Amino acid sequence: MSKLPPEAQPRGAEVIKQALAHVPLNPGVYLMKDARGRVIYVGKAKRLKNRLTSYTRPTSGPTWYANKVATMVGQVAKVDFVITASEKEALLLESTLIKKHRPRYNADLRDDKSYPYFRLSLEHDFPRLSLVRRPKLSDGAQYYGPFGSAGAARQTMYLLQRIFPLRRCSDHTLRNRARPCLDFETGRCPAPCADKISREDYALLVKQMQAFFAGQGEELARRLQGEMEKAAASERFEEAALLRDRWQALTRTLERQRVSAPQEEDIDVVALHQAEDGMRLAQVRVRGGQVVGSRVHDLSRAAQEPGETMSQALLALYELHAPPPLVLVSQMPADPSLVAEVLGEKAGRKVELRLPLRGEKRKLMDMAQLNAAQPRHEGPGPAAALERLAKKLGLAEAPQTMECLDISHLGGSLTVAGLSAMREGAAEKSAYRRYKVLGGEGGGDDYASMAHVLARRLSGDDPPPDLLILDGGKGQLSMAVQALAQAAPEHAPALASIAKGRAPGEPDRIYLPQRKNPVNLKAGDPALLLVMRLRDEAHRFAVSYHRLLRKKALTRSILEEVNGIGPKKRSRLLKIFGSLAAVKKAGEKELQELGGLDQATAKRLASFLAALDTAQPPK
């Protein structure tokens, strides 16, 4: 039976009705997919059949909610479901699948990972405090944040280094240093590298810093005041003045942070605000009666009821760290007892979810709701740029995923390629890829290299993007069209290319297949700037890869860059030939006979090493 074209495939409520014949009444999780096979929504249900049936009827509720549900249902081309043994198992599976698929119409809190966190490396004997933007689960470290401002995070880091002088150097530097660095001389590091501090005393510093992050800022202020008075008594007036300024700044900060909360109580306040275009969520963290952080998340795309949104939001908020004993919520989650149970297991103690009705806790909720209700003043965001790009390129909808491929011909027969990626207008560095292209694979010929890399990209396990952009003109685009036709992926991406302006001051040009002239986009157009940023990232990634290869060329590990050679073969080659230079001088025949390589691997190795010798530094 022949396959229907995408436009002829049934969609929407009709698809859900057809699926209902196979859906049981058991608890479980359902996944809605669009015509490209992408998961656009993940939901859970006590009774799967009843929940999915509700999508076939008119949606009640606010206009924005009804419209979003209708839009989402209209895109459904397939429904999958997973039966679970209990509602709790369904809740946990739903959270896991949302993190995996990042559906378009679920509550989206993932942008937390682009904000700075403090990372305390507790897995080390001498922990290090550093700023990171991508927290890692289960790495043994402790994370504090996120901070809404990188500048504020850096200022806090500077202050902490003066009060709690933990090391700043990397683990590698710590292992290989025997003499104290300048930080020791300036009082910003106790020099564990030179055994200037015991493990016990260093651990005390770490505990004091943890207490600060737990909201015990008053103790820190008292310590600053004591140091200031001590410096003044010793007639170190300049130092005393600096300490006075820091003490006053910290005291003012603590005054601004102080709220009417029960002393020493740790509380999180999570508030949902329903606006005309959707929902926003605010989280305010109170530790020891002081506000220590707040964040607002835009959930305007979520096509779900407030109770479902709150359930998913609470699980996402505490993915990286345990919740406090009390979490105040403006809206009870759809399944409060299950959510509280899951959060309690994560924290290792009871976690209470409470709707505050009066008193000081109600005032905290009012403050959080005020934060959530604040209108956004950020101007047109990536969503608007993506919508405009879709319109200018003639796409049916805004591309959720975009990739750009940059081929860098570096001289000789070695070519490298960099692939950058965006999801919903933001860089998705986990999807970046890099490629080597040797002479026999098209190295030295940009068009052939493009075809080779495209074939590798489209034949992999990663799903293709909605829009694939080539760095180059019409020639590269024509080659990409041919490569796409040969690869014939199940869901082919839309294609475009971007080339520099013909004259200085002219905007870059975007070309489309089957179109002679470039798309008319003026300099400064948000859609053009978005594509340029993606292109520049691909170029940067390719150039950085070239630099890495040239740097590795001076070390023995460069041999492992060749497919078919791992640590064992590398060691054997170096043992047989005596040095990397000797391996470079050996021909293919020697690499086979003496080195024990097969013909294909020997050819790849010889070509790669020869190409490195002739490669030119990137511009």
Q: What is the CATH number of the domain that holds 422?
A: 3.30.420.340
In a domain, 395, yes or no: yes
Q: Could you tell me if 426 and 518 lie in one domain?
A: yes
Best CA proximity match to 435, nearest among 411, 412, 461, 409: 409
For 597-610, what is the mean pLDDT? 84
Q: DSSP H helical segments within 134-236, as ranges? A: 150-163, 171-176, 182-185, 199-213, 217-233
In a domain, 409, yes or no: yes
Q: Could you tell me if 491 and 579 lie in one domain?
A: no
Identify the burial level of 359 via C-beta atoms within 10 angstroms of its C-beta, where 0-12 means exposed, 13-18 middle and 19 or more buried.
exposed
**494 pLDDT band (50/70/90 cuts)?**
very high
Percentage of residues in the chain with pLDDT exceeding 90? 21
What is the span of the domain harbouring residue 348?
A: 267-373
Predicted pLDDT at 254: 55
DSSP 3-state of 272 = strand
Q: Could you tell me if 291 and 394 lie in one domain?
A: no
Q: What is the CATH number of the domain that holds 32?
A: 3.40.1440.10
Q: Could you tell me if 569 and 502 lie in one domain?
A: no
More confident call, 65 vs 214? 65
Q: Of the residues 330, 351, 373, which one is the last residue of a structural domain?
A: 373
Q: What is the CATH number of the domain that holds 326?
A: 3.30.420.10
CA–CA distance, 362 with 586 (Å, rounded to integer): 77
Asked whether the beta carbons of 210 and 120 are under 8 A apart, the reply is yes
DSSP 3-state of 56 = coil
Q: What is the Cα gyration radius of the chain? A: 29
Q: Looking up tokens 């996402």, which residue turns up?
A: 316
For 580-596, what is the mean pLDDT? 83
* pLDDT tens-digit readout, 317-366: 888 778 999 999 999 998 899 999 999 988 888 999 999 998 888 888 98
In a domain, 233, yes or no: no
* pLDDT tens-digit readout, 405-450: 998 765 545 678 899 999 888 888 889 998 877 654 554 566 777 8
Q: Of the residues 318, 348, 373, which one is the last residue of a structural domain?
A: 373
The token duo for 221 is: 């202020």
Q: Is the pLDDT of residue 100 over 70?
A: yes
Phi, psi of 555 (to 5 degrees): -120, 165
Q: Length of the chain in residues, anyone? A: 619
Q: Could you tell me if 477 and 518 lie in one domain?
A: yes
∠ CA 162-202-324 to the nearest 5 degrees?
A: 80
Q: Is the pLDDT of residue 453 over 50?
A: yes
Predicted pLDDT at 66: 85
CA–CA distance, 470 with 417 (Å, rounded to integer): 11
Q: Looking up tokens 């200018």, which residue turns up?
A: 392
User: Average model confidence (pLDDT) for the chain?
Assistant: 81
In a domain, 337, yes or no: yes
DSSP 3-state of 413 = coil
CA separation, residue 196 to residues 180, 193, 221, 519 (Å): 9, 8, 26, 65
Q: Could you tell me if 450 and 477 lie in one domain?
A: yes
Asked whether the beta carbons of 214 and 287 are under 8 A apart, the reply is yes
* pLDDT tens-digit readout, 285-327: 887 766 767 778 888 778 888 899 999 899 988 887 789 999 9
Predicted pLDDT at 122: 85
Predicted pLDDT at 30: 95
Q: Could you tell me if 515 and 395 lie in one domain?
A: yes
Predicted pLDDT at 4: 38
In a domain, 199, yes or no: no
DSSP 3-state of 279 = strand
Predicted pLDDT at 251: 64
DSSP 3-state of 460 = coil
Q: Looking up tokens 């310590």, which residue turns up?
A: 223
Predicted pLDDT at 263: 54
For 59-70, what is the mean pLDDT? 82
Q: Could you tell me if 485 and 575 lie in one domain?
A: no
Q: Could you tell me if 367 and 401 lie in one domain?
A: no
Predicted pLDDT at 148: 58
Q: Could you tell me if 394 and 521 lie in one domain?
A: yes
Percentage of residues in the chain with pLDDT exceeding 70? 84
Predicted pLDDT at 389: 93
Best CA proximity match to 268, nearest among 364, 348, 152: 364
In a domain, 58, yes or no: yes
Provide the CA 366 distance to its chain's centre, in angstroms: 31
Asked whether the beta carbons of 560 and 496 are under 8 A apart, the reply is no
Q: Could you tell me if 488 and 557 lie in one domain?
A: no
For 35-40, what is the mean pLDDT? 88
In a domain, 254, yes or no: no
Q: Is the pTM of this model over 0.75?
A: no
Q: Of the residues 37, 71, 106, which one is the last residue of a structural domain?
A: 106
In a domain, 210, yes or no: no
- Structural domain count of the chain: 4
CA–CA distance, 606 with 609 (Å, rounded to integer): 5
Q: Could you tell me if 358 and 280 lie in one domain?
A: yes
For 360-377, what is the mean pLDDT? 79
* pLDDT tens-digit readout, 143-177: 776 665 667 677 778 777 777 788 888 888 888 77
